[in-house]
Structure formats: structure tokens, C-alpha cells
Structure 1
């Protein structure tokens, strides 16, 4: 924590949370705004479905790869320079997407978008812990999650509207504008939260030692699994939305918003509860409650889809409840990850974000196509992904019973 943290930000806490949330929104915005333009881009660039899928995969794996380094760079050079460089590169890459005349060019610039977009989410987590003691940090992290939850709701609406009004290129010009505005806001408002005495040497040997230290820690790896993989229990449904909502539930595209509305409502409700519980209930108890909700919902969801013909009125609400459970787990586990290695919080955030992004890419590219043909397959996939995180958490508690048991203080 920065020794002068109380003097670094003069405004209200919610305003800092809003700025950091905006930086974390860059990632989902880069996906959700352009998905409605898939058909328009494919038609304009004469791209096959496989090539269009490559534009998504290139982004996800570019995000995952560079996320390994954003945090480490911020541990050495400071938080501000990494955010500013990331937002500048994101804006330029978005402009490159808009100017692409061939799908191969679009794939390249989408990869560059992914490489740069991760700076916001990775560094923002480290900034929170630089600025605040544990309980207050969880409150801020919860506020960020609430704001962050808005992105998947409004992004497809913006993308679809821009596509209809001005064509597919306007989606990427909009993202370029987002990058420029976030660069300006960060340049004007974001303080440098990493004290010079905490900076790490930028040397290959030192960096490799840090990566080995984190990756060799079973405690760290189990926390990363517990914090990142369960998200995919609901992300699987998002990636399978056309097949699930349109094919299995018989909803029209104009009714797809119900899924996103329930997910966002669940995330925002869970994040609010997490913030309210911060400093009152130990993190382990909050995480246990979140996993209990997700496990109960996932099991009931699977049983219902096995024995009954799915109907929208009962098939959609479980996904919203699942997202509430995940939002209870995420802020507390993220802070536990960051606090394992206080001098390498940026690197820890990098590895956490990279692992989550790799999981997202595997779910989108491999698991979703395998299970989307049947509602029971989707429910089983969701349960399995949640189960990975639950098993990691149980193993962590068995090996280190004191993890998260202490009440966080302001």
C-alpha cells in the first residue's frame, strides 16, 4: 500500500472506482460491441465463419498473452505509464480495425487490440490494493464490479445501433474514441499509486524469478483457479446464446436481452452484497457463500434440463443467480491473490487475468461448440466449470485452513 495513499486521490471514492471500472470495461467492450456486426463484417470483407471466429480468437489469445506482462511492467515502471501506453495502443489498433480492407488485416489488428486492452483490467486491480487497506479495497473492488456489469448490457446495443446507422467500421471508430477518452481521463486523473520504494528491477532474470515464484506457489495457483474459472459457468451461456436462446428456447433475437439483463442484475447484486459484507464477514465465509449459491444453482439447472423440456421462464433465472454467486466470490478471491505477494501485485494480477482469458478462449473456441447442441450439455458444462473453481477452493482451505479467515480491516 502506498504510504501516502490518502493524499493521492482527492475526489470521492466512487469516482475513482468509476475510472478504474471504465478501464476494465475496455476488454468486454472490445468483444460485445462488435459481435452484433459479425454478419456485416463477414459480408463486407467476404470472410468465412471460420475467419470471423479467428477475429475473436486472435483478440482473446492476444489479451491472454500480453496480460502476462502488463502487471510486471507496472511493477517496474509504475501504474500510469502502462495504462497510458495501453490505451494509446488500443485506440490505434481500433482505428486499424476500422480501416481494414481484408479479413487478414482485421485479424491482425484484433490481436493488437487484445494485446493492449488488458492493461486496463490488470493494472486497475493493482491500483486498488495500492490505494486501500483490505476491507476498503474490497468495497472499491465491488463498486468496480457493479460498474463493470453495465458493459455487457450496453455494448451489444451500441454495436448493433452503430452497425445499422453507419456500418461496421463505425463500431471500431467508436472503440478508437473510447481508447482516446480513457487515455485523456487517465492522463488527467489517474495518480501514480506505486511508491518508488516498491518498484521492482526491470531485468529478465528478476522477472523470470518472479514468474517462477508465483507459478510454483500452489496457494497462488489454486486461488487463480478459484477466482477465474467459475466465471465461465455463465460465460459459456453467453458464447452459446444464439444456439441456446434461439434454437433451444425459441426466443427471437430481440428477446436475447433477457439473458444479459439477468446476468448483469446478478453481478451487480452480488457485488453490492460483497461490498456491504466487507469488513463485517471474513472473506472465506463470503467466498463459501458464493460457491454454495453457484453449486446449488448449477446442480438444479442440470437436473431440470435433463428431466424437463427447457422453457425460457425457468431456464433463464438460474444463470442470473449463478452470476450473483460469482460476484460474491470474485472481489474477495482477487484481493487474496494480490495479497499473497505484496511486492509483485502487478505480476499477480497479470497472471490471474491471463489465466482467466485463456479459460475464456478455450470455452469460446472449444467447449461451447461441443456442448451447445443440447440444453443438458450446456448445463453440464456450466456445472463442470464451476466445479473446477470449487475444488480449487476446497483444496486450498484443506491445505491452508487460515486462508481468508481473518476479518479484513479498514
Structure 2
């Protein structure tokens, strides 16, 4: 098995790159599982807990996402001080316990509070995972590795609704939350036994308000980074708005019915394919060229989706292909923009990863909630959001790049280096 290489070039990491990718992907995918596996159960859950407004049941998903965003702020700073492994294990333990509590909830308000708390306490899953990747790799190599993680990560959204539907066939909706708790416990065992600490002793940062605010200012004021963070937030917000309303949009409005998990899973597969392709393409063309091209195609396909939705009479098989193009572009942008945004912050990778994820996820979850609650038995709100996110995202990237697109992150033949 191939060994992952440290930035210094020394093959001193005790587990192989394949196991590292799988471990980080599945730990981050726990959050996606907690979101997507419950989608088929929303009608049953709403009926059992006596939820009247159909849009209110989306809050089971939306509040978890908001919690994820708010909970991403602190774990990176803790991981810069105490190490990556203990913070990651703490997030997984919190995920497991709140999942088990959700399975026992008998009141809708209590369930919503537990979902918010679960997202809040598990916010470190993604932030710490990104910091571990930054510990090990730089530049386009980091983007390529992040793409491989996203390939495995995207298998979960593809399968989660089908898994949730299967659970419903043999048990009630509560067992979906029980399943997430059991899988969380399994991940904690794997990481506890196999993952070494990746934070170098000389990079440990003491916790102080001065340092925290200093790191925050450093991240927020880096022009070459902040546009990528905000652009990612816009496109992520559209995707989360789609996820929150997809059961109503695909299953009910477009009439997918019992085939909803298969349609949803097939569309999610496109993002996995995109990230696998990106892991190869980015090493040849660079993260910037690949991500910028994807953003332009995203905007153009969004205009097509807007036209289809607003002309009236849009069908499932008109919606799906165009949305698949949007999801593919989102897959290309996700890993590349995240890697570009984190590249300048090797010394404070944990804090920078947390703050960037906090901004990205909190803005995206709020935007996703607005899109979901605007659902009007059509794809019009979603298509409008896609176009606005594409225009806004392009403007933000032009700001970070000072009006110049398609540069390479690291020119061929040169060593990785921080962005100016």
C-alpha cells in the first residue's frame, strides 16, 4: 500500500494514503448521513409527531445544517492546541450520543433541539478533517487528495436515502437515527485505533483571545482566500436548499414517488464522478483553472434551469439532467475552492479551516433554509438561487483574483508555496 508523503517529502506516516482518505471521508460523511438518510422518513416523522405545515418538517434537516455551521468555529482552534485526533474523536462521540437521543424523542420541538445540538457538537468533523489534509499536503496535491476524499464522501448522499427507505420498510423512522449512532460508534473505534496525530509539535498554538482574534483577522483579511470561501458558501447554500426541498420537489411535485431515493442517489453519483475526475484533472490543469471553468459552466446551466422552471410545464426528466450539470460543477468547485482558500495558512491550518468552514456552512445553511422555505411546488425558487449564486460567486472569485481567472495554484515544476 502506498504511503502518504509529508510536505517535507519523508515517508514517515504510519498508515497508507488509501486508509487515510477512507477514514477522513467516512468521518466527514457521518454528517451527510445524518442529513440524507432521514429524507424519505420526513412524511412519517411529521405524521407521528403531528407536524402540520409540510415545510416545517424540513427543519429536521435545516437546523442540523445550521448547527454544523455554528459548531465549526471552535474545533480548529482546539485542534491547533491539543492535536487533531482528540478533537475529532470528541466530535464523533457527540454525534453518536445526540443521534441516539433523537431516536428516543417524542416531541417535535425536542427533536429539533437535539438536531441543532447534534450539528453544533459534530461541527469539528469536517474542519478537523481538512486540517489533517493540510498537515500532510500542499498546493494542487492537497486539492487532489481532497477530491479523493469527496469521492468516497459523496457515496453516502447517494446511498443514504435508499438506506433510510430500507430502514423504513423493516422498522420505524427512529431506527434511522439509531443507525447513525451505531455507525458513529464504529468510526470512533476505527479512528481511535488507527489514526496517528498529524499536528507537528512545533505547530501547536496556545489558546489566547489575542491569538484567536489575530488568526481570525488573518483569515478574513486575506483577499486571495476570502472570495473563495464566500463563493463556496453561495453554491453550497443552493445545494443545501435543494437537499431540504428535494423530497417535496422530486418525490411529490415531479412525481418520482417511491423512486425518489433512486433518482436522488443517481444525481448524487454525478458529484462523486466529478470529484474522482477532479482528482486527476487538477494535477494537470491546476485547481484554479478547473474551478473557474466549473463556475462558468455552473452559471450557464443555471440560466437554462431558470428558463425551464419559469416557462412552465417543466418535467422531471427536464429538471434532472440540468441539475446534474449543476451538481457536477459543484463537485469540481468544492474541493478546488476549499484547497485554494486554505493554502495560505499552513501555520494555523486548524483555526483557518474552522473559521472558513464556519463562514461557509453557516451562510450556506441559512441560505439553504431560505430556499427550502420558499418552496412553492415548483423549481422556480431553486433555479433563481442557482443563477444568483453563480453571478455572486463569479464576482467574488474575480475580487480574490484581482480580475484575472485561470491561473495555476502552483506552476508546474515549482515547489508549493503560500499565496501572496
Task: Work out the CA distance in 2 between the residues paired with 1:264 and 1:41.
Answer: 24
User: Is residue 100 of structure 1 aligned with residue 105 of structure 2?
Assistant: yes
Q: Is there any run of 5+ residues in structure 2 with no aligned partner, and where?
A: 1-5
Cα distance, 1:298 vs structure 2? 1.0
User: Is residue 291 of structure 1 aligned with residue 272 of structure 2?
Assistant: no
Task: Work out the CA distance in 1 between the residues paired with 2:49 and 2:377.
Answer: 29
Superposed CA deviations along residues 39-84 of structure 1, whole A, max 9, x for unmatched, are: 3333333444476444434322221111011111111111001011
Q: Which residue of 2 aligns with 1:115?
A: 120
User: After the TM superposition, which of the residue ranges 240-249 and 127-136 deviates more from structure 2?
Assistant: 240-249
Q: Which residue of 2 aligns with 1:31?
A: 35
Structure 1 residues 33 and 338: CA distance shift in structure 2, 3 A: same
Task: Work out the CA distance in 2 between the residues paired with 1:93 and 1:377.
Answer: 32
TM-score by length of 2: 0.89
Task: Work out the CA distance in 2 between the residues paired with 1:201 and 1:403.
Answer: 36
SS of alignment partner, residue 68 of structure 1 = coil
Q: Which residue of 2 aligns with 1:136?
A: 141
Q: Which residue of 2 aligns with 1:354?
A: 358
Cα RMSD (Å) of the superposition?
2.4
Structure 2 contact 232–337 (Cα < 8 Å) conserved: yes
User: After the TM superposition, which of the residue ranges 308-317 and 37-46 deviates more from structure 2?
Assistant: 37-46
Superposed CA deviations along residues 149-204 of structure 1, whole A, max 9, x for unmatched, are: 11112111222222331212211111111110111011011111110100111123
Structure 1 residues 374 and 175: CA distance shift in structure 2, 3 A: closer
User: Is residue 366 of structure 1 aligned with residue 351 of structure 2?
Assistant: no
SS of alignment partner, residue 398 of structure 1 = coil
Structure 1 contact 297–322 (Cα < 8 Å) conserved: yes
Cα distance, 1:403 vs structure 2? 6.4
Q: Which residue of 2 aligns with 1:74?
A: 79
Q: Which residue of 2 aligns with 1:174?
A: 179
Structure 1 residues 46 and 300: CA distance shift in structure 2, 3 A: closer
TM-score by length of 1: 0.91
Q: Which residue of 1 aligns with 2:206?
A: 201
User: After the TM superposition, which of the residue ranges 39-48 and 110-119 deviates more from structure 2?
Assistant: 39-48
Cα distance, 1:215 vs structure 2? 2.3
Cα distance, 1:404 vs structure 2? 4.2
Task: Work out the CA distance in 1 between the residues paired with 2:47 and 2:288.
Answer: 50
> Which of residues 226, 229, 249 in structure 1 aligns to 2:231?
226
Task: Work out the CA distance in 2 between the residues paired with 1:114 and 1:151.
Answer: 17
Structure 1 residues 299 and 376: CA distance shift in structure 2, 3 A: same
> Which of residues 187, 211, 214 in structure 1 aligns to 2:216?
211
Q: Which residue of 1 aligns with 2:282?
A: 278
Structure 1 residues 318 and 104: CA distance shift in structure 2, 3 A: same
Structure 1 contact 283–407 (Cα < 8 Å) conserved: no
Equivalenced residue count is: 408
SS of alignment partner, residue 202 of structure 2 = helix
Structure 1 contact 372–378 (Cα < 8 Å) conserved: no
Structure 1 contact 219–396 (Cα < 8 Å) conserved: yes
Structure 1 residues 376 and 94: CA distance shift in structure 2, 3 A: closer
Task: Work out the CA distance in 2 between the residues paired with 1:131 and 1:15.
Answer: 14
Superposed CA deviations along residues 270-296 of structure 1, whole A, max 9, x for unmatched, are: 212211123321222111211122122
Q: Which residue of 2 aligns with 1:337?
A: 341
Q: Which residue of 1 aligns with 2:320?
A: 316
User: Is residue 63 of structure 1 aligned with residue 75 of structure 2?
Assistant: no
Task: Work out the CA distance in 1 between the residues paired with 2:47 and 2:305.
Answer: 38
Cα distance, 1:387 vs structure 2? 2.2
User: After the TM superposition, which of the residue ranges 35-44 and 272-281 deviates more from structure 2?
Assistant: 35-44
Structure 1 contact 214–348 (Cα < 8 Å) conserved: yes
